[in-house]
Amino acid sequence: MNRNPHVAIVGATGAVGIEMIKTLEKRNFPVGKLTLLASARSVGKKLKLKEQEITVQELTKDSFKGIDIALFSAGGSISKEFAPAAVKAGCVVVDNSSYFRMDDTVPLVVPEINGADVKKHKGIIANPNCTTAITLMALYPLHQAFNVKRIFASSYQAVSGTGAKAIEELERQVGQIVAGKTVTKEVYPHQIAFNVLPHVDSFLPTGYTKEEMKMENEGRKIMHHASFRASVTCVRVPVYRAHSIAVSAEFEKPVSVESARLVLSKAPGLDLVDAPEKAEYPLPLYVAEKYNCQVGRLRMDCALDNGLCFWVAGDQLLKGAALNAVQIAEELIK
């Protein structure tokens, strides 16, 4: 891999694409050249990397000649169509969609957890689901110490997980309500302002949604833990960015709040914020635009024999998407 790689961002004008550009700059990623790719309607737009204006080009199957790393964040159908063309051109793809995540030939990576899996790539590396990644930042260190068996969890997911139009919808609806106007909706099936929707992604015959099953399926693959089980309810909340998850985890080895705090305080990419007596606990408002996730509200689970409850929050546009992708790119050039 080139030490100063030619990087492309596919879906450069979307919410995650813009965060990818910012993250490359903030982390001083050694970009030799940056190419921005998007659909025809975005062609000609200009975005900046370190004061250098870069014009967005149209994504085609011929876009990847000479590119070393392509960060994809344009949806599964785009990844399905264009990622193989990128690989054929000699490019390594880091894909933020769900399309390749459960492919046995594609590593699914959170660098703090299974960064070594990057070496197993055959041209494509998958970025995990945002809620899964944020949850595992706290769960995996506990798993290493105490061997997790199963979790019960509820997510509180920001509208940014749906994209830029959902952020605009929340903002518009708040304005409409404050002004006493009729609320209009385009993105979600119900009003999201001053409401919560227990509906993220499409429903499966089991009654769970696809998003809810990602925690178990992707968690098993990332943690190399084939028997891990997760029962999850995913909820969309009227928060602009940063997801939060309430977790009850059951372990094989004895766990205590004190031993868990010690483990979590040393975990990479994670801050322990756990002083409820001072009203200090992770909040999406305060974790937004931060690289580290936060964990707190630690307590013994009174409904499980060897269980621990905790609350974890993280910026879904960063650790849940752009930051994790750039960290994977950093692993590639090590």
CB 238 within 8 A of CB 170: yes
DSSP-derived 3-state class of residue 287: helix
15 labelled binding-site residue: yes
Structure token pair of residue 48: 């900046």
236 labelled binding-site residue: yes
Q: State how far the Cα of 7 lies from the Cα of 71, in Å rounded to an integer.
A: 8
77 labelled binding-site residue: no
DSSP-derived 3-state class of residue 138: helix
297 labelled binding-site residue: no
By CB atoms closer than 10 A (0-12, 13-18, 19+), residue 224 is: exposed
247 labelled binding-site residue: no
**Active-site residue (options: 6, 91, 121, 130):** 130
Cβ partners under 8 Å of residue 332, min gap 6:
1, 5, 69, 92, 118, 125
**Active-site residue (options: 6, 121, 143, 243):** 243
14 labelled binding-site residue: yes
Structure token pair of residue 67: 């590119």
What phi and psi values does residue 125 have, to the nearest 5 degrees?
-125, 135
16 labelled binding-site residue: yes
Q: State how far the Cα of 142 lies from the Cα of 251, in Å rounded to an integer.
A: 9
Cβ partners under 8 Å of residue 279, min gap 6:
none
182 labelled binding-site residue: no
130 is annotated as an active-site residue:
yes
161 labelled binding-site residue: yes
Partners of residue 308 on adjacent β-strands:
249, 300
Cβ partners under 8 Å of residue 1, min gap 6:
68, 69, 92, 332, 333
Query: CA torsion 303→304→308→313, rounded to 10°?
Result: -60
244 labelled binding-site residue: no
Q: State how far the Cα of 86 lies from the Cα of 78, in Å rounded to an integer.
A: 12
Positions marked active-site: 130, 243
* Binding region: 13-16, 41-42, 101, 157, 160-161, 236, 316
* Binding region for phosphate: 101
* Binding region for substrate: 157, 236
